[in-house]
Structure 1
């Protein structure tokens, strides 16, 4: 057993001692059929931004846009518009072959359960360890080039082989193998609150759900439209952080009733068209507490993956015009073993 003490309000162990899927386990065959039942028109919507947006790294200095380049032959020649000529054979073929250097959580993305952990006394001995969902450990299960203790001491390298980081547990490939296909439910905050910055807590969320007659059931993927991704798209690769950091609705991760509703609702995943789903940094930072309380609650305690920077305008408009809020969602991440996040091209089918 990796832990003797689990965080209050968490579901560690509920899906088994070695579970790495969390609430994605709730998306089973029945939930896939519920999603399929929402397909009535045979129309699909792409819910991804172009993966070179937001543009630059002004919104997050450590995340950089993708860089495309050709692959190269042994003689150093780029394989782009490259005639395939052999000494013993004439050919009409021309080949182009490329590669990309990409920050996996730069644009439309999934956060895996290895994305956010916490300092927590999982052993129950009065000492904190760095742990992730279901008690998986930093250094042993989630490895990096250099591991740091709780007080910043430099330790030994925790990663062997070709990678400089690798989630031996909770990697994004677990979601990819599952498939992440089921019923999505859209809540359109932008239609009610516009583009102004507004903290959304339990009361505001429930009010919109009542007004729009939105029903959420266990195993659903809840998708929130705030208008943020649309603002990013309008900026055409030149995002203005001063504008974006003060724009559109955002969940209030400090609202205890909102977090309790997320626990009780049974949602399998939570996605939004904004940068972090919740306000960052959170309000009320007095004392020692999480800077990202909703991430802490969802990823660390409950195993609820988060989707960020999804693009939702056309889907939202269509659902509103047709008095619907549910759709079939297909959103597997890359099957990239050991990654803690992934680009995704979600598809909604109605």
Structure 2
């Protein structure tokens, strides 16, 4: 995709997905009626995590792993009386290993944030606009999983492979499900399964993801959220001169919160066995008022 083609796509998507205003972007599609309707997806009362375990060991895709340490003092004696086990965590939220959500202030493109918000709203002390705090009451809606490796008859897509709008449409047909307005769309490329079976690799340089033109599908269906088991963006990029075109289009142009590096290896077999690929989904980011994102543990309820 040339830069001119990308620019035209950006303008087209921004015009087709404009929301009423405010700082929630596409979350405005999650009306009370749609949330209530999503609860009717629950039939078995089964809950499944869509997050991978937080990793504390370095790897080729995780040079800055989360740090976890216990806060016990060497001289503490636990043999009698009351004591508390304590620990602390630190994390690079936007890495290439841990499951996380991108807030609308995460992507700066051509001098602005989503909706034309000035970049000086993001500074050394955090973000004063569009932070992950806009999702403080949770993101609850109808989740839909489209399994692209299943569609293609492979265990995973190879790094560098693109998911197209046609792939998404064909997956709908194959899975007998339809993505509708306000849905939380999850697209499986098999990143987690490949990583588990072949080992970690430098995912910043090579990974499967969506082709930028696939965002036309999301705009047409007016989804509220996009999540993937990779970064959502293909690497190397399919757009000339832009390393993360899907992030630019989804977050900056369309106002979509993105969930990166989820895992669907627990959910996909259940959907397959039950013959349904939609479910209630509950996403609860941490309340980090000035943050550009958060670690996250989405729960599918079937």
Q: TM-score range by the shorter chain?
A: 0.7 to 0.9
**1:131 alignment partner, SS class:** coil
Shift of 1:321: 1.1
Give the Cα separation in 1 of the matches to 2:86 and 2:222: 44
User: What's 2:7 paired with?
Assistant: none
Shift of 1:67: 1.1
User: What's 1:179 paired with?
Assistant: 138
Shift of 1:13: 6.6
Instruction: Please report the TM-score for the alignment, with normalisation by the length of structure 2.
Output: 0.86
User: What's 2:89 paired with?
Assistant: 100
Q: 1:27 to 1:284 in 2, by over 3 A?
A: closer
Give the Cα separation in 1 of the matches to 2:91 and 2:59: 13
The structure with more helix, counted as a fraction of residues: 2
In the TM superposition, 1:69-84 aligns within 5 A as 69-71=69-71, 77=73, 83=78
**2:119 alignment partner, SS class:** coil
**1:95 alignment partner, SS class:** coil
Q: 1:82 to 1:52 in 2, by over 3 A?
A: farther
**2:11 alignment partner, SS class:** coil
Does residue 168 of the first structure (1) align with residue 128 of the second (2)?
yes
Does residue 250 of the first structure (1) align with residue 231 of the second (2)?
no
Instruction: Please report the TM-score for the alignment, with normalisation by the length of structure 1.
Output: 0.75
Q: 1:40 to 1:280 in 2, by over 3 A?
A: same
User: What's 1:214 paired with?
Assistant: 177
1:292-318 superposed Cα distances (whole Å, 9 cap, x missing partner):
221111100110011111111121111
Give the Cα separation in 1 of the matches to 2:38 and 2:194: 29
Shift of 1:250: 2.1
How many corresponding residue pairs?
A: 285
Whether the aligned pair in 2 keeps the contact of 1:67 and 1:101 (CA below 8 Å) is yes
Give the Cα separation in 2 of the matches to 1:170 and 1:294: 18
- Which of the numbers 117, 138, 156 marks the counterpart of 1:136? 117
Give the Cα separation in 2 of the matches to 1:246 and 1:281: 6
Shift of 1:134: 1.2
Whether the aligned pair in 1 keeps the contact of 2:105 and 2:127 (CA below 8 Å) is yes
In the TM superposition, 1:284-303 aligns within 5 A as 284-285=239-240, 289-303=241-255
- Unaligned runs of at least 5 residues, structure 2: 1-9
- Unaligned runs of at least 5 residues, structure 1: 1-6, 85-90, 120-129, 145-162
Q: 1:14 to 1:60 in 2, by over 3 A?
A: same
Shift of 1:245: 5.8
Give the Cα separation in 1 of the matches to 2:270 and 2:285: 25
In the TM superposition, 1:225-244 aligns within 5 A as 225-234=188-197, 239-241=200-202
Shift of 1:339: 0.8
In the TM superposition, 1:325-344 aligns within 5 A as 325-344=277-296
Give the Cα separation in 2 of the matches to 1:327 and 1:339: 29
- Which of the numbers 27, 30, 39 marks the counterpart of 2:30? 27
Whether the aligned pair in 2 keeps the contact of 1:82 and 1:96 (CA below 8 Å) is no
Larger Rg: 1
Structural RMSD (CA): 2.4
Give the Cα separation in 1 of the matches to 2:295 and 2:74: 26
Q: 1:100 to 1:207 in 2, by over 3 A?
A: same
- Which of the numbers 268, 278, 284 marks the counterpart of 2:224? 268
Whether the aligned pair in 1 keeps the contact of 2:19 and 2:26 (CA below 8 Å) is no
In the TM superposition, 1:15-94 aligns within 5 A as 15-16=20-21, 19-52=22-55, 55-59=57-61, 61=63, 64-71=64-71, 77=73, 83=78, 92-94=81-83
